[in-house]
Amino acid sequence: MMTRLVPVLTFVIVIIAVWYAAAVQLNANWAYDKAKRAGVELNFTDLVADTWSQEKPRLPAPHQVGAEIWQTTVEKKVTSKRSLIFHSWITMSATVLGFILGTALGCALAIGIVYSRVMDMSVMPWVIASQTIPILAIAPMIIVVLNAVGITGLLPKAMISMYLSFFPVVVGMVKGLRSPDAMQLDQMRTWNASRAQEFWHLRLPSSMPYFFTSMKIAMAASLVGAIVGELPTGAVAGLGARLLAGSYYGQTIQIWSALLMAAALAAILVGLIGALQRLTLKRMGLS
Amino acid sequence: MSWLLPGLVIWIGAFALNIRLTRLPRSPLTRLAVPVIFGVTIIAVWECLVRGLEIPAVLLPAPSVIAATFASSIPILWVDFVQTAIKGALTGYLIGCGSAFLVAILVDRYRFLQLGLLPIGNFMAALPIIGTAPILVMWFGFDWQSKAAVVVVMVFFPMLVNTVQGLQDTTQMQRDLMRTYAAGYWSTLLKLRLPGAMPFIFNGLKISTTLSLIGAIVAEFFGSPIMGMGFRISTSVGQLALDLVWAEIVVAALAGSAFYGGVALLERAVTFWHPSQRR
């Protein structure tokens, strides 16, 4: 445990140190400008103190971001529009809804592809080809078109998340459902198993490791989809809206705190799937 | 109504044809024909549905309209393509993948880096890195440099993780053999481990192609000069000029597929020895 923790911690400390140094470097110009106008000479300690406490710095220092996160999560009421928990909740609900829809659709399509030759030969090449296309580019269009039809709120964002998260699940599940080898399939046939039994007792259980791995990728993709989906809605609510509003008004501290919240959200959601994976695979005796 | 019927006929006909084709013994021809028929059918049915149900062009333009717009606005599309795909995505791709490759070799050399940097790299690879776009746009300005910077950050971690994994793919036996040949670190790296890592490296390179285009396009939503694919998409959506948006998406799809295909061809040439490439 210690041999693993020490290097990671070292790097975390190095990153934070570099961050502080970069904050001095990037914010120095503005500090010198201010000092020149006030007619004071800056010595090094003043410079450092100023660069770490500016209101709209080019790079906010870690403690500024930390203070902003603390203020907007703990000290604000959850229902307040300035609470990051409120915005994270909006993004998370779109992410999770899109992820569930995408995973369900992906599994259904994978089962179709594994059991039907027509599906396999006609759909699968397109699923693979669609991975090479920057799908995220159409996110603004989906939002606007669905708005025009009268669908607003959570669903358009969830649709984008669904679209992004369903490809990894299809590819992973097709691989997983095909992972039993010919010998195992023959064994099922010698037991006179029906196709349903073959699916429930052999193919589905052996696809589980693939399933969880692709779910992790799908969850990360889904979060990206939800954040990008919030950009064109005019910055109303959600972490993506906070990013956009922050970049319009030069509120760098707000951008960084939204970014760190998004990172935490991703870590929590992917971590949950990881925990589920360990639990399931352990009970199945696979890990 | 007069358009819906042909649409239905085409759909059923193509489906029946595909079922017949899949019953035939597998050959390169049917392998190509079945997906092509599927794709063409979708476009034909789309055209018939849009015309038959009279869906307004601000919701979903017909493929023929999109094709006409594409043909008539090639100069605009070309400028956007150069701005986003060549200047933004390709530059960032080369810098990001190149630096990730070099860092991966360092990480592989020193165990301390491996233990410290890899967990962080794995963690970062799962994060919504696209969120750094507004910050990088603020730092590097509105032009393509900031888009390239977003792409560098986006492709770095997947590439790093894949390359490190690839460098560890050789077996103890193979490395022992190199030792018996009295091969040092560098000749082992160049003659055994790097060639052995190539399938993983190309996996990273292929993932990065899509990521780089996505990064360059989405970064333009946060500010750009008055050209670029992301800029065109977001402004045309605002003007409800969806035919131009779709034309831009066609460009993105073509660029993405060509980029991916190019890397895949290179992979076939470099890793011809790998089981997945044998035919």
Q: pLDDT for A155-211, tens place per residue?
A: 888 888 888 888 888 888 888 888 888 888 899 999 998 888 888 988 888 888 888
| Contact with chain B for residue A29, Cβ under 8 A | no
Within its chain, how far is the Cα of A272 from the centroid?
13
Q: What CATH number is attached to the domain comprising B116?
A: 1.10.3720.10
Are the beta carbons of B80 and B257 closer than 8 angstroms?
Answer: no
Q: Does A250 touch chain B (CB under 8 A)?
A: yes
- Please indicate if any CB of chain A lies within 8 Å of the CB of B253: yes
Separation CA A236–CA A32 (nearest Å) = 36
Position A126 scores a pLDDT of 80
Question: Is the CB of A227 less than 8 angstroms away from the CB of B130?
Answer: yes
Of B113, B242, B257, the CB nearest to A141: B242
Looking at the structure, tell me whether residues B22 and B108 fall in a common domain. no
- Sort out which chain A residues have CB atoms less than 8 A from B210's CB and list them: 131-134
Instruction: Reduce the DSSP state of residue A152 to 3 states and report it.
Output: coil
B62: in domain: no
Most A CBs within 10 A among B19, B66, B118, B127, hence the mutation to make, goes to B127
B181 shares its domain with B266: yes
From A210, A250, A22, select the one nearest A114 (Cα to Cα): A210
Distance separating alpha carbons of residues A169 and B69, to the nearest angstrom: 35
Residues B94 and B160 in one domain: yes
Question: In this complex, do A227 and B120 lie within 8 Å of one another by their Cβ atoms?
Answer: no
How many structural domains is chain B composed of?
2
Our CA-based measurement puts residue A197 at a distance from the nearest CA of chain B, in whole angstroms, of: 25
Q: How far is B127 from chain A (nearest CA, A)?
A: 6
Half-sphere exposure of A67 (CA within 13 A, CB side): 9
B window 108-137, beta carbon within 8 A of A: 112-113, 115-117, 119-120, 123, 126-128, 130-135, 137
Burial of A274-283, coded b for 16+ CB within 10 Å and e otherwise, reads beebeeeeee
* Partners of residue A234 in chain B, C-beta under 8 Å: none
Q: Is B139 on the interface with A (CB under 8 A)?
A: yes
Q: Which two tokens stand for residue A167?
A: 């490809």
Q: Which residues of A touch B242 (CB under 8 A)?
A: 141, 145
Place of tokens 């599940």: A173
Closest-CA residue of chain A to B137: A247
pLDDT of residue A128: 74
Domain annotation covers residue B65: no
Burial of B279: CB neighbours in 10 Å, binned 0-12, 13-18, 19+: exposed
Instruction: Identify which of A220, A281, A211, A208 has the alpha carbon closest to the alpha carbon of residue A96.
Output: A220
Cα–Cα distance between A34 and A43 in angstroms, integer?
Answer: 13
Instruction: Supply A57's token pair.
Output: 């710095």
**Sequence-separated (6 or more) residues with CB below 8 Å from residue A239:** A84, A87, A88, A90, A91, A227, A230, A258, A261, A262, A265, B131
User: Residue B276 gets which letter from DSSP?
Assistant: G
Within 8 A of B66 by CB-CB distance, chain A residues are: none
- The rounded distance, in Å, linking the Cα atoms of A180 and A193 is 15
Containing A53, the helix (H) or strand (E) segment is: none
Contact B115 A4 (CB under 8 A): yes
Which of B55, B80, B98 marks a domain boundary?
A: B55
Query: Residue A154: pLDDT above 60?
Result: yes
Which residue from A122, A126, A131 is facing B210, i.e. has the nearest CB?
A131
Are B173 and B125 members of one domain? yes
Task: Report yes or no: A174 and A214 within 8 Å, Cβ to Cβ.
Answer: no
Neighbours of A115 (CB within 10 A): 14
Greatest C-alpha distance within chain A: 92
CATH 1.10.3720.10 is right for the domain spanning A84-284: yes
Decide which of A80 and A10 is more confident.
Answer: A10
Nearest-by-Cβ selection for A138 from B139, B209, B249:
B249
In B, which residues are within 8 Å of A137 by CB distance? 213-214, 217-218, 229-230, 233, 248-249, 252
pLDDT of residue B119: 82
Q: How many CB atoms lie within 10 A of CB A139?
A: 31
Q: Which residue of B has its CA nearest to A220?
A: B126
| Rg of the Cα atoms in chain B | 24
**A258 lies within 8 A of chain B by CB:** yes
Is the CB of residue B81 less than 8 Å away from at least one CB of chain A? no
Chain Cα centroid distance, residue A148? 27
Same domain for B155 and B95, yes or no, is yes
Domain boundaries, chain A: 2-59, 84-284
The rounded distance, in Å, linking the Cα atoms of B134 and B125 is 19
Mean pLDDT of A48-69: 81
Interchain contact B234–A (C-beta under 8 A) = yes
Of B30, B55, B80, which residue sits at a domain end? B55
| Same domain, residue pair B41 and B141 | no
What pLDDT is recorded for position B90? 92
Instruction: Give me the interface pTM, i.e. the ipTM.
Output: 0.78
Cβ-based neighbours of A122, under 8 Å, separated by 6 or more: B18, B34, B35, B37, B38
CB atoms within 10 A of CB B191: 13
- Rounded Cα distance between A129 and B129, Å, is 24
Residues B121/B204, Cβ–Cβ less than 8 Å: no
The pLDDT tens digits for B184-223 are 888 888 888 888 888 889 988 988 888 888 888 888 888 7
Checking if the pLDDT of A235 tops 60, the result is no
Chain A, 61 to 120: residues with Cβ < 8 Å from chain B are: 117-118
Q: Please count the residue pairs, one from chain A and one from chain B, whose beta carbons lie less than 8 angstroms apart.
A: 157
Distance CA B167, CA B233 (A): 40
Is B213 a domain residue?
Answer: yes
Lowest mean pLDDT segment, chosen from A79-83, A245-249, A255-259: A79-83
Contact B140, B146 (CB under 8 A): yes
Which positions in chain B touch A129 (Cβ < 8 Å)?
A: 257
In this prediction, residue A1 carries a pLDDT of: 59
Burial of A195 (0-12, 13-18, 19+ CB in 10 A): exposed
Q: What is the rounded CA–CA span in Å between residue B28 and residue A4?
A: 51
Question: In terms of residue numbers, what domain contains B100?
Answer: 70-277
* Rounded CA separation A119/A166 (Å): 16
C-alpha dist (Å) from residue A106 to A111, A168, A171, A177 = 9, 8, 8, 12
Written as six digits, the tokens of A285 are 């005796």
B216 and B100 inside one domain: yes
When CB atoms are compared, the residue of B116, B233, B259 closest to A11 is: B116
d(CA A286, CA A17): 42
| In a shared domain, residues B49 and B79 | no
Residue of B234, B249, B257 lying closest to A132 (CB–CB): B257
| pLDDT reported for residue A99 | 93
Cβ contacts of A8 on chain B, cutoff 8 Å: 115-116, 119-120
Is B64 inside any structural domain?
no
pLDDT value for A214: 87
Q: What would the pLDDT profile of B67-105 be if each residue is shown by its tens digit?
A: 998 898 888 889 888 888 888 899 999 999 999 999 999
Question: What pLDDT, on a 0 to 100 scale, did the predictor assign at position B135?
Answer: 84
- Which segments in chain B show pLDDT lower than 70? 1, 276-279
Closest-CA residue to B217 (of B96, B74, B78, B84) = B84
